Amino acid sequence: MKCRVCREKAVIDLPRHNASFCPACFDSYLMDQVWKAIDEFEMFGKNDRILVAVSGGKDSLALWDILNRLGYRTTGFHLDLGIGGYSGESLEKTRAFALRYGLTLHVESLVQEVGASVANIAELTNRPPCSACGVSKRHLFNRAAQKLECQVVATGHNLDDEASRLLGNILHWQDGYLEKQNPALPDEGGLVRKVKPLNRLTEKEMAAYAFLKGINYVVHECPMSVNAKQLFYKKIMNQVEQESPGTKQAFYFGFLDRRSRFYPEKAEEAPAYLCRECQTPSYTEVCTFCRIRLKVARSEQNQDTTA
Ligand code: SF4
């Protein structure tokens, strides 16, 4: 197997591009894909400070590495979700990465912020764990970005994540989510800009990048993801891709090309309230995150009085 570019020995085969690459040419290809995503969706510029949401997994650590190599100004943000050994290892690997490259890392704990771990929040609020986690992350990433004077939050979602999410949204005709499925969401309604610079790269490509760069990341999936529908949709997309390489990207990029036809750009309606608890702009008197926080506090008080 020879590299498509330099004809040296290839180490990775990408059937979706009908191409193989040696380590050096794969690195150029990957950096170019990230740069294209940033440029096409005008995600950020060299003067912006970017809050990189780093979980300790391959995608977010690789993203942090790539953005630094491309010369962007970054601050890492890790949210400890309080998921036992998994969260312990995630924090440890994120800290080790920041130390290795001399990067600034800011850490917050969900247990300290809400008073419970993801699993406990889910139980006390009757929400699926990933829903409780998603609401908390959105709120705390946004708050951290404002606190740390970052103009944009970047996450490590890759092409597999986006294609499987799109499949789930289409299967259930989730118009509200489809409308917002865009790798760059503007800073509207009191929320800072949110971007996904890895949207052109697959999970396999990100794993290869992390391996070639010697990035030490958490390999296993979050234990809360066991019943997550997202994994099921990923499995389906992988089966389709196996049979017909290139389908995943055609599906996702095809949607982005047609998106404005179905969901024309419109200015987001400004939130009518400032949350009466945390003062962030909200569509309800108390924002979703604070409603979760208050419900957890009330449940704990009830448990104390009945004990
Ligand atoms: Fe959060 Fe669910 Fe992802 Fe775990 S799998 S990190 S609970 S969204």
How far apart are the C-alpha atoms of 197 and 128, rounded to whole Å?
A: 27
Residue nearest to atom 3 of ligand 1 (CA): 130
Please tell me the predicted confidence (pLDDT) of residue 307: 62
Question: Are residues 12 and 20 in contact, defined by beta-carbon separation less than 8 angstroms?
Answer: yes
Name 240's Cβ contacts closer than 8 Å, sequence gap at least 6. Answer: 247, 248
How far apart are the C-alpha atoms of 127 and 292, rounded to whole Å?
A: 10
Over residues 291-296, the mean pLDDT reads: 94
The answer to the question of whether 130 is labelled as a binding residue is no
Residue nearest to atom 6 of ligand 1 (CA): 222
User: Average pLDDT of the chain?
Assistant: 94
Report the separation in Å between the CA atom of 224 and the middle of ligand 1, taken as the mean of its atom positions. 6
Residue 212 scores a pLDDT above 90: yes
Residue nearest to atom 2 of ligand 1 (CA): 130
Considering the four listed CATH numbers 3.40.50.620, 1.25.40.340, 3.20.20.70, 3.40.50.720, the one that applies to the domain covering 37-268 is 3.40.50.620
Backbone conformation region of residue 19, classed left if phi is above 0, alpha if psi is from -120 to 50, else beta: beta
**Tens digits of residue pLDDT in 93-126:** 999 999 999 999 999 999 999 999 999 999 999 9
How far apart are the C-alpha atoms of 46 and 261, rounded to whole Å?
A: 31
List, chain by chain if needed, residues with CB within 6 Å of any ligand 1 atom: 118, 129-130, 133-134, 222, 224-225, 228
Ligand 1 atom showing the smallest separation from residue 222 Cα? 4
Helix ranges, 181-287 (H): 203-212, 229-243, 247-262
Over residues 73-85, the mean pLDDT reads: 96
Q: Which of 79, 94, 114, 118 to mutate to test the pocket of ligand 1 (most atoms within 8 A of CB)?
A: 118
Ligand 1 atom showing the smallest separation from residue 129 Cα? 7
Please tell me the predicted confidence (pLDDT) of residue 306: 67
**Tens digits of residue pLDDT in 6-61:** 999 999 999 999 999 999 999 999 999 999 999 999 999 999 999 999 999 999 99
User: In angstroms, how far is the first alpha carbon of the chain from the final one?
Assistant: 67
How far apart are the C-alpha atoms of 165 and 38, rounded to whole Å?
A: 20
How far apart are the C-alpha atoms of 194 and 153, rounded to whole Å?
A: 5
Residue 143 scores a pLDDT above 90: yes
How far apart are the C-alpha atoms of 233 and 71, rounded to whole Å?
A: 35
**Tens digits of residue pLDDT in 236-287:** 999 999 999 999 999 999 999 999 898 887 766 778 899 999 998 898 999 9
Closest CA to 50 of 158, 171, 184: 184
Ordered by start, the domain boundaries in the chain are 37-268, 273-307
Write out the E strands in 61-191: 73-80, 105-109, 152-154, 184-185
Report the separation in Å between the CA atom of 109 and the middle of ligand 1, taken as the mean of its atom positions. 15
Backbone conformation region of residue 2, classed left if phi is above 0, alpha if psi is from -120 to 50, else beta: beta
**3-state DSSP assignment of residue 53:** strand
How far apart are the C-alpha atoms of 21 and 7, rounded to whole Å?
A: 9
**Tens digits of residue pLDDT in 180-202:** 999 999 987 778 999 999 999 99
How far apart are the C-alpha atoms of 62 and 148, rounded to whole Å?
A: 22
How far apart are the C-alpha atoms of 146 and 224, rounded to whole Å?
A: 29
Please tell me the predicted confidence (pLDDT) of residue 271: 82
Interface predicted TM-score of the whole assembly (ipTM), two decimals:
0.99
